[in-house]
Structure 1
Amino acid sequence: MYTHLALLRGINVSGHNMIKMDDLKVLLERMGFQNVRTYIQSGNVFVDSDEEHGATLGFRIKQEIFKEWGYDVPIIVVTKEDLEACLNNNPYLKEKDADTKKLYFTFISKELNESSIHELKMSQVKPDEAVIDKNRIYVKYAVGAGKTRFDQKYIEKKLNVTATMRNWNTVTKLLEMYNE
């Protein structure tokens, strides 16, 4: 049995793609997943499954959400190691007076190389900063996530990927839940 964390992008945001987590949990249990747990309303779902491959599991969930609610919801499945890397390898933590309220993580649908950072054209979103680490981007906002052009849509467009973002507190809590 494998534990997977599915990150659903774009649900319950500004009244769009509304899915109650209790309803999502019921759907996933009907699909045969066990120990289904959700965290907050933004689409963080743990499931236990015999399915080894996260991408296959994410695709199955995406199909069922479309059948049930008619929403085309991108899903990225991340591992416990992905979450640990976010918290342990974050280059911005080394800075004096690092403010975790301005640190975000973008999870990407495919592995990127370090040269992909050029495609992001960071000069267009200064003073925000980013570092690519395989299928994650460490983001440091100068002011905050609500006051920037450098969001998940910008990243998706520049890198031609599916992406979803989570803040420091959410990633910290999700790792705690993985360890439960």
Structure 2
Amino acid sequence: MGIYIALLRGINVSGQKIIKMDRLRNLFESLNYQSVVTYIQSGNVVFQTAEGDTALIRQTIEHGIKETFEFDVTVVVRTNDELEESIRNNPYDRIELNADDRIYLSYLAERPSEEAIDRLLAFKNDSDDYEVIGREVYILCRTGYGKSLFSNNFLEKKLGVAATTRNWQSVNKIADLCRTIDNN
């Protein structure tokens, strides 16, 4: 059985699309997923399933959320191996960061076109740095994510794909949850 991560976009933000984590766990269990664990209120769910098609898993979860909570939520699904690869691929892991520097990782629902990635180059600046690697955008924020040009909405608009962003600490905590499930 594979370990998967569902990253929900835009839940429990500013009083919008409220989903309690116990209800979210119950939904995943009702979809026949096992070892369901959530991490913080922003919609991170680690689970196991024998289903190997991540596109089908995504559709199933999005449909289940719509049926249960009566609103649409974009879900990005990664396998445990893909999550670990995204951690290994961090281009900012090899440089010395300043005390105020923060790393964020935007998980994209699909790989953006080369043309879209090229268009993003026009927005390089001194405050932030970014790198697109596969279906992930690594963002180095020097002035805080709230002031960064490379917000989730900006990336979705410029790249033309759905995305959801997590801070580096959350990415590593989710990976730790996957490792715990894998060791059981």
Q: Scaled by the length of structure 1, what TM-score is found?
A: 0.91
Structure 1 window deviating more from structure 2 (81-90 vs 121-130): it is 121-130
Task: Report the Cα distance in structure 2 between the residues aligned to 1:124 and 1:61, rounded to whole angstroms.
Answer: 35
Q: Against the structure 1 CA distance between its residues 97 and 125, is the aligned structure 2 distance closer, same or farther, given a 3 Å change threshold? A: closer
Task: Report the Cα distance in structure 2 between the residues aligned to 1:22 and 1:13, rounded to whole angstroms.
Answer: 17
Q: Residue type matched to 1:161 in 2?
A: V
1:88 pairs with 2:83: no
Could you tell me which residue of structure 1 aligns to residue 60 of structure 2?
60
Quote how far apart the aligned CAs of 1:51 are: 0.9
Quote how far apart the aligned CAs of 1:127 are: 2.3
Could you tell me which residue of structure 1 aligns to residue 26 of structure 2?
26
Q: Against the structure 1 CA distance between its residues 45 and 121, is the aligned structure 2 distance closer, same or farther, given a 3 Å change threshold? A: same
- Map 1:101-120 onto structure 2 (within 5 A): 102-112=102-112, 116-120=116-120
Secondary structure at the aligned position of 1:166 is classed as: strand
Identical positions, percent:
36
Supply the RMSD in Å over aligned alpha carbons: 1.9
Answer whether contact 1:116 1:132 (CA < 8 A) is retained.
no
Q: Deviations over 1:52-107 (max 9, x none)?
A: 11121111010011111111100000122332233322112222235585101011
Quote how far apart the aligned CAs of 1:46 are: 1.2
Higher relative CO (Cα under 8 Å, sequence separation at least 6) belongs to 2
Secondary structure at the aligned position of 2:165 is classed as: strand
Give unpaired runs (5+ residues) of structure 2: none
Answer whether contact 1:114 1:132 (CA < 8 A) is retained.
no
Task: Report the Cα distance in structure 2 between the residues aligned to 1:77 and 1:66, rounded to whole angstroms.
Answer: 17
Q: Scaled by the length of structure 2, what TM-score is found?
A: 0.89
Answer whether contact 1:83 1:175 (CA < 8 A) is retained.
yes
For this pair of structures, how many residues does the alignment match? 180
Could you tell me which residue of structure 1 aligns to residue 175 of structure 2?
175
Task: Report the Cα distance in structure 2 between the residues aligned to 1:100 and 1:55, rounded to whole angstroms.
Answer: 37
